[in-house]
A and B are shown apart, each in its own frame.
Chain A
Amino acid sequence: MANKFIHAIYDDDDKLLDAVKHLKKEGVYIEDVFTPFPVHGLDKALGLAPTRISIAGFIYGCIGFAFAIFMMNYIMIVDWPQNIGGKPSFSFIENMPAFVPILFELTVFFSAHLMVITFYLRSRLWPFKKAENPIPETTDDKFLVQIPVSGNEKEIKSKIKKTDILKIDVVEIKE
């Protein structure tokens, strides 16, 4: 188990992005990167697989749309037809324009909320979970690249020093 890590800390997202690209080119294995905010293009630089959250979002939207049709049909047509402004109250399709705002809202509602929940589950985040980031500054203004080392510490350090680095820490984490 590699439990010795180099923590390369940067103070700017552009510097981080350049450094990650440089290290990748040098063949350094990067385990993880901690940033205070999503850095545009970092996923591509790290070579992560493209996200599938948008496909999930589309499916959730379809579920919301279907649910809205079912709900409005049950409430306004089947269970308790109401005459609002003299609109036909016994036919879903003839009353449909009045339901469009609800269809739209529920589509967006389902898509957005289920996407957030999916994201939390996928990232293994839940309430009262202990933070995983090595130093608390990565929630403020520092960017940290975590690189596992096993014997090749000096070589990696010299490669990191070529980037626009703020500081390098070597830490041992007990499993």
Chain B
Amino acid sequence: MFTLTNKIKTFSIALIVLGLLGIAYGFYSAPSTIEEAKQIVASSHHDDGHASSYDDHSNEDKGHDEHGDGHEMSHDEHVFHQLANRPWAAIYVAAFFFFMISLGTLAFYAIQRAAQAGWSPLLFRVMEGITGYLLPGGLIVLVILLFSALHFNHMFIWMDPEVVEHDEIIRNKSGYLNIPFFLARGVFYLAGWSLYRYLSRKFSIAQDKANDNSNHIKNFKLSAGFLAFFLVTESMMSWDWIMSIDPHWFSTLFGWYVFASMIVSSITVIALLTIFLKSIGYLEKVNDNHMHDLAKFMFGFSVFWAYLWFSQFMLIWYANIPEEVTYFITRLEDYQLPFFGMLVMNFILPFLILINSDFKRLNWMIVTAGIIILIGHYMDVFNMIMPSAVGDQWFFGIPELGSVMFFSGLFIYIVFSSLTKAPLEASGDPFKKESEKFVY
């Protein structure tokens, strides 16, 4: 039985408190009027390195405004909205990133259950611990979306009735993209995922003391059903929660793309948490063979992510249709560092580090690759949300760092406290023995 040490508790609470301070600073420094926004932009021209790059860009925007229509926002108002969105977007990126780790772990867990995998039962409790964050993390994401729906920020411009009125493309989508339906869908997805998590966890713990395999079989059937539900809802969730930030743009493989990011970060977190628990003396039956398999999944899904990323990019780049290609033009012009940085961190580095079979058995190699992958996929979520929410006014500063600290603290606290609630070994699992003597 795992017990929460004071060290972990203090560490996570410290992260939460520091994160809260960072978030509060983010809201404090965000402009509340257009005049303040102008001042912030003017001052950042002098002292901020990256700011100089948008000099030309903002002049260009002003050019548009001269012959702009009456209903279009002025450039200053636009910048004001972007700056006001920044703390919200910072929270949203971090909240979604940690939520997606637990959701991806749930999917990975369901795959193990449905496939009746022999190697992984020793890791079931680790995965169940990570999915403990699903409900709280999901509720936080829903609350942020609710704040958007109540017009506390302008991340989702289709939520603004004035914008919709003048925008034919969004107006035509309003049967799907309207606030009540949007929120109801969010509640529906989260309820379905949490229900599976609750039932599966219940059967898993009941199996520990059971004399037959009935709980295991129930879990098997439930997991297969959940995977079908998950495939549809995960795709729709990615349209709703991420793609609708750019309501004009769409990509048909976006759901898969988000899934790839999700599953690779989840497997990485499973591997890192397993290594951590082993290092403090738990999970003594988990050995190099299990780590090797997890590292193979990290390697494989990193390549899978790159494949989907490139498939999405190349079709749009090649066709060069204005409505589609704007998505990548903003990212290539204003987000060069995170855009190409994430390619290196999510594909090239994991590929080169983890390609060697022997390296997949070295814990420090897995940890190195894992940290690179996690930072890279945070950048991926950043690149998905920020360009539309804050445009060229982005920076990785105190609000972003604070949000990451807050949610990582919360994640660590909730995951470790849900690990304490059940024995770390699924002792009644019918495949436990196979998992123990598993050789890759």
In the bound complex, do residue B439 and residue A97 qualify as a contact, i.e. CB atoms below 8 Å apart?
no
Contact B318 A100 (CB under 8 A): no
From B314, B320, B355, B357, contact of A86 by CB (8 A) = B320
Which residues of A91-149 have CB atoms within 8 Å of chain B's CB atoms? Answer: 97-98, 100-101
The reply to whether A98 and B439 form a contact with Cβ atoms under 8 Å apart is: no
Q: Is A90 an interface residue (CB 8 A)?
A: no
Contact of B314 among A41, A54, A58, A100 (CB under 8 A): A100
Which A residues form the contact surface with B (CB < 8 A)?
41, 54, 58, 85-87, 97-98, 100-101
Complexed CA–CA distance, A101 and B313 (Å)? 13
The main secondary structure of chain A at its interface with chain B is: helix
B282 contacts partner chain A, Cβ-Cβ < 8 Å = no
Contact string against A for B residues 319-330, beta-carbon threshold 8 Å, 1 for contact and 0 otherwise: 110000000000
Q: List the interface of chain B (C-beta within 8 A of A).
A: 310, 313-314, 317-320, 355, 357, 439
Cβ contacts under 8 Å, A85 to chain B: 318-320
Q: Is the CB of B355 within 8 A of A58?
A: yes
In the assembled complex, which residues on chain B have CB atoms less than 8 Å from the CB atom of A86?
320
Evaluate contact between B320 and A97: CB separation under 8 angstroms.
Answer: no
A87 and B318 within 8 A (CB): yes
CB distance from B295 to the nearest CB of A (A): 15
A98 pairs with B318, CB closer than 8 A: yes
In the complex the two chains form, what is the Cα distance from A43 to B319 in whole Å? 51
Contacts of A97 in B (CB 8 A): 310, 313-314, 317-318
CA distance A100 to B317 in the complex (A): 13
Residue of A nearest to B313 (CB): A97
How distant is the Cα of A87 from the Cα of B319 in the complex, in angstroms? 10
Interface of B is mostly: helix
**A98 to B, closest residue via Cβ:** B318
B318 with A54: CB separation less than 8 A: no
> Chain A nearest CB: distance from B178 CB in Å?
37
Cβ contact of A41, chosen from B319, B320, B355, B439, cutoff 8 A: B439
Closest to A55 in B: B356
Closest to A58 in B: B355
Per the bound structure, the CA–CA distance linking A100 and B355 in Å amounts to: 20
Which residue of chain B has the shortest Cβ distance to A87 in the bound complex?
B318
Interchain Cβ contacts under 8 Å between A and B, 7 examples: A41-B439, A58-B355, A85-B320, A87-B318, A97-B318, A98-B318, A100-B314
Q: Kindly report which residue of chain B lies nearest to residue A41, judged by CB atoms.
A: B439
Q: Which residue of A lies closest to B352 (CB)?
A: A58
Residue of A nearest to B318 (CB): A85
**Which residues from A are CB-within-8-Å of B310?**
97, 100
- A101: nearest chain-B partner, CB-CB: B314
A171 to B355, CA, bound (A): 45
Q: How far is the CB of B307 from chain A (nearest CB, A)?
A: 9
- Shortest distance in angstroms between A87's beta carbon and chain B's nearest beta carbon? 7
New A-B contacts (16) at CB < 8 Å, excluding given A41-B439, A98-B314? A54-B357, A58-B355, A85-B318, A85-B319, A85-B320, A86-B320, A87-B318, A97-B310, A97-B313, A97-B314, A97-B317, A97-B318, A98-B318, A100-B310, A100-B314, A101-B314
A54 CA to B357 CA, complexed, in Å: 9
CB-based nearest A residue for B439 = A41
CB distance from A43 to the nearest CB of B (A): 13
Expressed in whole angstroms, the minimum distance between the Cβ of B34 and any Cβ of chain A is 39
A118 to B438, CA, bound (A): 31
Give Cα distance in the complex from A41 to B289, angstroms: 14
Q: CA–CA, A87 to B318, complex, Å?
A: 8
Q: Please, which residue of chain A has its CB at the minimum distance from the CB of B317?
A: A97
Chain B residues, CB < 8 A from A100: 310, 314
Bound-complex Cα distance A58 to B351 (A): 12
Residues from chain B with Cβ under 8 Å of A87 in the complex: 318
Contact partners of A41 in chain B: CB under 8 A: 439
Closest CB in chain A relative to B350 CB, distance in Å: 15
- Can you name the residue of chain A whose Cβ is closest to the Cβ of B307? A104
Note all chain A residues with C-beta closer than 8 A to B357.
54
> Least Cβ distance of A92 to chain B in Å?
15
Smallest CB gap from B319: residue in A: A85
Chain A residues contacting B318 (CB-CB under 8 Å) are: 85, 87, 97-98
The smallest beta-carbon distance between A37 and chain B, in angstroms, is 19
A58 to B355, CA, bound (A): 9
Nearest Cβ distance between residue A100 and chain B, in whole angstroms?
Answer: 6
Complex alpha-carbon distance, A14 and B114, angstroms = 27
Write the nearest CB–CB distance from A47 to chain B, whole angstroms.
16
Chain A residues near B319: list those with CB within 8 A.
85
Q: Which residues on A sit within 8 Å (CB–CB) of B313?
A: 97
Shortest 8 CB-CB distances between A and B: which pairs? A97-B314, A97-B317, A85-B318, A100-B310, A54-B357, A98-B318, A100-B314, A97-B313
The distance in angstroms between the C-alpha atoms of A87 and B355, with both chains bound, is 34
A145 to chain B, nearest CB (A): 22
* Closest B residue, CB atoms, query A84: B318
Inside 8 A of B320's CB, which chain A residues have their CB? 85-86
Determine the distance from Cα of A173 to Cα of B439 in the docked complex, in whole angstroms: 38
CA distance A86 to B317 in the complex (A): 11
CA distance A54 to B356 in the complex (A): 9
Shortest Cβ gap from A94 to chain B (Å): 11
**Whole-angstrom distance between the Cβ of A83 and the nearest chain B Cβ:** 13
Taking the nearest CB of chain B, how far is it from the CB of A53, in angstroms? 11
Min CB gap A63→B, angstroms:
16
**Separation of A85 and B320 alpha carbons in the complex (Å):** 9
